[in-house]
């Protein structure tokens, strides 16, 4: 196709970010669900990662709020809606097939909300999101389009992994992945990527010690790497 | 073999088909009390079946009709012979909201104004097809039977093995060819008002399947009378053909409505200079005015020297004295249509009105005779639909799609819409109607 508008480039980026935010949030909440078995309050560490206040009465209240409450901007449901909002206007770029995975994810999450066994009902979501990424890889022929989505995905993953205090090796792996994606950016589009912030990332993620010490700096650099306006439908 | 037994395979897989339609997000948008909602378009798995013989005759009639309408549009924006020869009174041209003086003298490529025509037909109980409306501005609906067929073939392949059904999946190819016939050199683009348009699914689906760029107005600009798409890297790509899905009056704020926020300044200059093709051509709304509908059989005779193959529903124009008299005498049995309305709105069945309302309406028609047409209510064929596992009969119409580029072609399919309300003739999706696939048999 060879012609991408500014708005679509933003939406591609945020499609990548929100899909990944949904996926990583979901996986983190699944771990929380496991920890909650036989305990009353076992979600404080999750709230601490993001600096969210504890306003929840019990495990169930927390899970409802973070999994299914679409009005909570930190919930999995909210992230999925935003991913869909971005995807729906990118049909001709990402394909109807790719979009169908987001619709399936929405339907599966909606069903899980009313399920007696939430963990079991959430299980297909992991497959669906892997299917989405497979479809993106398969159906998007334009490398530039695919790369913008992947940069969004990797930026989000790095951001969340650092906030959730993932091990350095996992973060480093994603960081290398981001560098590879940035290397694929065509030379004629440099202004979309503020590579000067890369040096901040390089310093912060240079070694395990740097990572422990400079996470905040790394998060800041990451936020400015792709100067994209979030587009609301 | 009866229709019911013939299609058991498709019906038996109704749940699977609807699951797939849901998965693929086959939706339309609707505004209720100012709030936008996206809804799944209810699909009925029992297809409408058109025999090969029936389609052959319908196809000829549709090509004839659309060719005449295109001749009419060229004439109206150039010599106006049909008016000078007294075939159509000028009142019906110049006060029509679809007539645009700004299009005078512009000649679109191949002299085609209506590239994609959505012609609404109904079949009477005696098997005769009647034309109900010619939708020439921005008719929508082709994407629904297109994706429904794709998914039905997955869910119920047996139905297609056992029946000689013409494959309808070439619509995107037809559309792409039509766009290329008009292309003035550059990329193909589909202009959408945005996600909150009722037909957004269709805009994006057709963009995907024709390999066109889906654009909104702020991504486009005109420079030196050439239309460009502004790319995210700061470059520009020339657009050679624009399939616009917004109404004429919003297309260019410097030519039409200055308050339009969804138009492209100077687009009409680029078009007038022959640097971009616009599908459908601006100004063609004058031919899909419900008042002009009355004159289409006359146009066919006038321009083509042929007898119309497809009939209009018996129609009266209160504008004419004799017709007014008839309408006044039979108001309680006629269906009255406001020529300015669309989407099933502005349609009143005289039989539904109370005595008081009937008199009020009579006064309105007398005061504004040009605003209305009156038609006999055609007792059209009910089609079977599946409702809660039972087969029930409902009113249905057919929107046939006719594409005109270098030649005029009829898509061997169409959108069959049905009313879900047993007491209603109104089939529009915006009013709760559903749709079914249209099978055209090859033999």
Q: Inspect the interface and report whether the beta carbons of B229 and A3 lie closer than 8 Å.
A: yes
What is the rounded distance in angstroms from the CA atom of residue B27 to the CA atom of residue B260? Answer: 27
If we measure between CA atoms, which residue out of B118, B160, B177, B123 comes closest to residue B142?
B118
Binned at pLDDT 50, 70 and 90, residue A188 comes out as: low
Residue B420's pLDDT band (cuts 50, 70, 90): confident
Rounded Cα distance, B340 and B181, in Å = 31
| Contact between B232 and A5 using a beta-carbon 8 Å cutoff | yes
Asked if the Cβ–Cβ distance from B24 to A186 is below 8 Å, we say: no
How many angstroms separate the CA of residue A7 from the nearest CA in chain B?
A: 8
Return the number of other C-beta atoms located less than 10 Å from residue B342's C-beta: 17
Interchain pair A104, B23: CB under 8 A: yes
Residue A231, pLDDT score: 65
In a mutational test of the A interface, the residue from B186, B232, B242 whose CB has the highest number of chain A CBs within 10 Å is B232
Measured between its terminal Cα atoms, the distance across chain A in Å is 24
Has residue A1 got a pLDDT over 70? no
CB proximity A108 to B under 8 Å: no
Q: Are B402 and B62 in contact (CB under 8 A)?
A: yes
Q: Phi and psi for B44 in degrees, rounded to 5? A: -105, 130
Report the distance separating Cα B407 and Cα B178, nearest Å: 9
More confident residue, B275 or B235: B275
- Taking 70 as the threshold, does the pLDDT of residue A222 lie above it? yes
CA of B119 vs chain A CAs: smallest distance (Å): 27
B22 vs A contacts (CB less than 8 Å): 103, 107
Residues of B in contact with A9 (CB under 8 A): 232
Is B381 a residue whose pLDDT tops 90? no
Rounded distance, CA A200 to CA A213, Å? 13
Domains, chain B, in order of start with CATH, read 3-307+379-440 (no CATH), 314-376 (3.30.1490.270)
CA Rg value for chain B = 22
Label residue B324 by pLDDT band (50, 70, 90). very high
Rg of the Cα atoms in chain A: 18
Backbone angles phi and psi of B197, in degrees to 5: -90, 145
| Cα-based torsion angle of the residue sequence A52, A58, A62, A64 in order, rounded to the nearest 10 degrees | -160
CB B302 within 8 A of CB B82: yes
pLDDT per residue as tens digits for the range B113-171? 999 999 999 999 888 999 999 999 999 999 999 999 998 888 888 888 888 999 999 99
Tens digits of residue pLDDT in B299-313: 999 999 999 999 999
Taking CA–CA distances from A186, the nearest residue in chain B reads B233
Query: Which pLDDT value is given to residue B8?
Result: 57
Cβ neighbours of residue B387 under 8 Å, at least 6 residues apart? B420
- The contacts of residue B356 (CB under 8 Å, 6+ apart) are none
Among A4, A92, A191, beta carbon nearest to B231: A4
ipTM over 0.85: no
Closest Cβ–Cβ partner in A3, A88, A107 for B231: A3
Q: Is the pLDDT of residue B3 over 60?
A: no
Answer whether B195 touches A (CB < 8 Å). yes
Q: Distance (Å) from the C-alpha of residue B429 to the closest C-alpha of chain A?
A: 21
Q: Are the beta carbons of A100 and B212 separated by less than 8 Å?
A: no
| Length of chain B as a residue count | 443
DSSP string, A5-72: -HHHHHHHHHHHHHHHHHHHHHHHHHHHHHHHTT-S---HHHHHHHT-----SSHHHHHIIIII-TTS
Residues in chain A: 233
Contact of B208 with chain A, judged by CB distance below 8 Å, is answered with yes
Alpha-carbon distance of B264 to B299, in angstroms, equals 34
- Answer yes or no: do A6 and B230 touch at CB < 8 A: yes
Task: For residue range B339-370, list pLDDT tens digits in order.
Answer: 877 666 788 999 999 999 999 999 999 999 98
Sequence spans of domains, chain A = 6-225
**The pLDDT of residue A224:** 80
B-chain residue closest to A101, CA distance: B23
The whole-number average pLDDT for the span A34-41 is 81
Mean pLDDT (whole number) for A112-136: 95
* pLDDT value at residue B12: 66
Checking if the pLDDT of A232 tops 70, the result is no
B-chain residue closest to A140, CA distance = B208
Cβ atoms B255, B246 nearer than 8 A: no
The pTM assigned to this predicted structure is: 0.88
By CB atoms closer than 10 A (0-12, 13-18, 19+), residue B163 is: middle
State mean pLDDT over A51-78: 92
Interface A–B counts its CB contacts (< 8 A) at 77
Task: Quick: pLDDT tens for A79-97.
Answer: 999 999 999 999 999 999 9
**What would the mean pLDDT of B413-429 be, rounded to a whole number?**
85
- The pLDDT value recorded for residue A196 is 74
Alpha helices by DSSP H, listed for chain A, are: 6-36, 44-50, 59-63, 76-88, 91-94, 96-113, 118-139, 143-163, 168-183, 198-204, 208-213, 215-225
3-state secondary structure of B141: coil
How far apart (Å, rounded) are the C-alpha atoms in residues A214 and A232? 32
B-chain residues near A100 (CB < 8 A): 23-25
- In chain A, whose CA is at the least distance from the CA of B238? A3
Q: Chain B closest CA to A161's CA: distance in Å?
A: 29
């Amino acid at each position: 196709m060879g012609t991408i508008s500014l708005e679509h480039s933003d939406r591609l980026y945020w499609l990548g970010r929100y899909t990944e935010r949904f996926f990583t949030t979901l996986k983190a909440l699944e771990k929380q669900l496991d920890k909650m078995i036989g305990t009353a309050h076992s979600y404080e560490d999750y709230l601490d990662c993001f600096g969210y206040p504890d306003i929840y009465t019990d495990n169930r209240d927390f899970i409802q709020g973070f999994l299914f409450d679409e009005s909570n901007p930190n919930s999995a449901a909210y992230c999925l809606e935003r991913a869909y909002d971005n995807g729906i206007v990118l049909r001709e770029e990402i394909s109807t097939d790719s979009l169908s995975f987001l619709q399936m994810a929405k339907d599966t999450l909606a069903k899980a909300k009313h399920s007696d066994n939430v963990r079991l009902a959430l299980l297909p979501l992991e497959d669906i999101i892997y299917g989405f990424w497979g479809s993106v890889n398969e159906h998007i022929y334009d490398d530039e389009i695919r790369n913008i989505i992947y940069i969004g995905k990797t930026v989000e993953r790095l951001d969340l992994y650092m906030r959730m205090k993932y091990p350095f090796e996992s973060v480093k792996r994603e960081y290398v992945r981001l560098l590879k994606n940035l290397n694929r950016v065509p030379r004629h589009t440099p202004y979309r990527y503020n590579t000067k912030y890369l040096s901040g990332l390089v310093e912060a993620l240079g070694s395990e010690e740097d990572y422990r010490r400079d996470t905040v700096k790394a998060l800041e650099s990451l936020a400015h790497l792709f100067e994209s306006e979030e587009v609301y439908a | 073999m009866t229709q019911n037994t013939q299609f058991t395979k498709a019906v038996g897989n109704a749940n699977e088909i609807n699951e797939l339609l849901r998965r693929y997000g086959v939706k339309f948008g609707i505004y209720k009390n100012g709030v936008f909602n996206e809804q799944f378009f209810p699909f009925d798995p029992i297809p409408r079946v058109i025999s090969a013989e029936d389609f052959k005759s319908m196809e000829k009639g549709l090509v004839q009709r659309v060719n005449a309408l295109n001749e009419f549009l060229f004439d109206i924006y150039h010599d106006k012979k049909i008016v000078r020869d007294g075939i159509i009174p000028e009142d019906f041209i110049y006060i029509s909201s679809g007539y645009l003086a700004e299009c005078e003298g512009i000649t679109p490529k191949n002299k085609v104004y209506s590239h994609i025509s959505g012609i609404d037909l109904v079949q009477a109980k005696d098997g005769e097809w009647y034309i109900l409306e010619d939708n020439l501005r921005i008719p929508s609906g082709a994407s629904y039977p297109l994706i429904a067929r794709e998914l039905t073939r997955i869910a119920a392949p047996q139905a297609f093995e056992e029946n000689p059904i013409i494959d309808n999946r070439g619509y995107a190819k037809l559309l792409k060819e039509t766009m290329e016939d008009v292309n003035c050199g550059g990329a193909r683009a589909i202009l959408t008002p945005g996600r909150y348009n009722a037909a957004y699914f269709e805009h994006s689906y057709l963009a995907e399947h024709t390999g066109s760029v889906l654009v909104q107005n702020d991504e486009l600009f005109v420079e030196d009378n050439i239309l460009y798409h502004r790319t995210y890297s700061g470059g520009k790509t020339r657009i050679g053909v624009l399939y616009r899905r917004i109404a004429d009056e919003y297309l260019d704020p410097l030519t039409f409505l200055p308050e339009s926020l969804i138009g492209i300044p100077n687009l009409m200059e680029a078009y007038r200079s022959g640097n971009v093709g616009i599908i459908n051509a601006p100004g063609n709304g004058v031919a899909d005015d419900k008042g002009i509908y009355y004159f289409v059989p006359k146009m066919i005779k006038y321009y083509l020297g042929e007898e119309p193959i497809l009939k209009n529903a018996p129609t009266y124009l209160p504008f004419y004295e004799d017709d007014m008299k008839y309408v006044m005498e039979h108001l309680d049995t006629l269906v009255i249509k406001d020529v300015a309305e669309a989407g099933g709105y502005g349609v009143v069945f005289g039989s539904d009105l109370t005595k008081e309302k009937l008199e009020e309406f009579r006064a309105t028609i007398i005061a504004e005779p040009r605003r209305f047409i009156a038609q006999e209510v055609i007792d059209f064929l009910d089609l079977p639909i599946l409702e809660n596992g039972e087969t029930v009969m409902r009113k249905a119409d057919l929107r046939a799609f006719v594409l005109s580029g270098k030649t005029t072609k009829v898509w061997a399919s169409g959108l069959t819409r049905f009313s879900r309300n047993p007491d209603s003739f109104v089939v529009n999706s915006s009013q709760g109607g559903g749709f079914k696939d249209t099978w055209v048999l090859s033999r």
